[in-house]
Amino acid sequence: MSFEVDIGYSSRRGPREVNEDFAGAVHAPPGDEARGLIAAIADGVSSGGRGREAAQTTVMGLLADYFATPATWEPTAALDRLVAAQNGWLADHNRRRQSRSSEEGGTALTTLTALVLHGQGYTLAHVGDTRAWRVRAGGEAAVPLTQDHAFDHPDMRSRLTRAIGLDDQVRVDYVQGDVRVGDCFVLTSDGVHGVLKPQQVAALALQGDDAEAASEA
């Protein structure tokens, strides 16, 4: 089953010195349209300035490899393999950095929320405190589809309980559900949902007919 999806992005540095967020989306290749698309967002965290690298490599690796997995695999199986591989790679690099001089030391971690749209359903893979929301026409607020893996503390970025690259193995939350015509899915980092309420997310997501303009708003 093929479908049309309008995609928009927006990212700002805000008051921080470096923007360590990264996001992207990829449609299935020609001839394989029934596999839908995959979108992902990551928010890098680091003690040595490498959070952006962790976020970017995690998202780009996932988007590049997802449709290379066998079409017979369930989305959860494909995501689990790919996320585990990226986590192992990043955890190994963190160990090597920590064993070098202090100038090269520090860990690079990242959150990850990935959304796969396929057929009449969706699959989410989630680690950390980035979030996925679903907005439906007529709804008063965006419905959260993920749960944060972080301590209840104002500085959520430094209180993550799960992250890509934190340990040799990572536990991933998976969520599946149905998709209706007109559904809007929103992926956010804490710089957005730490400020906007669910009602505001819904109102912005549904304004106008252009996903890019809604993202900028």
Interval 173-202: pLDDT, tens: 999 999 999 899 999 998 888 888 999 988
The pLDDT, as a whole number, for residue 156 is: 44
* Residue ranges in the chain whose pLDDT is less than 70: 1-2, 47-49, 100-106, 152-158
Q: How far is CA 85 from CA 15, 59, 79, in A?
A: 33, 13, 10
Question: Distance between CA 139 and CA 12 in Å, rounded?
Answer: 27
Beta-strand runs (E) in 36-139: 37-46, 108-110, 112-118, 121-127, 131-135
pTM over 0.85: yes
Strand 37-46, strand 173-178: pairing: unpaired
How many Cβ atoms sit within 10 Å of the Cβ of residue 71? 10
For 65-86, the pLDDT digits (tens) are 999 999 999 999 999 999 999 9
For residue 14, give both structure tokens: 């805000």
Query: Among residues 158, 168, 133, 141, which one has the least CA distance to residue 39?
Result: 133
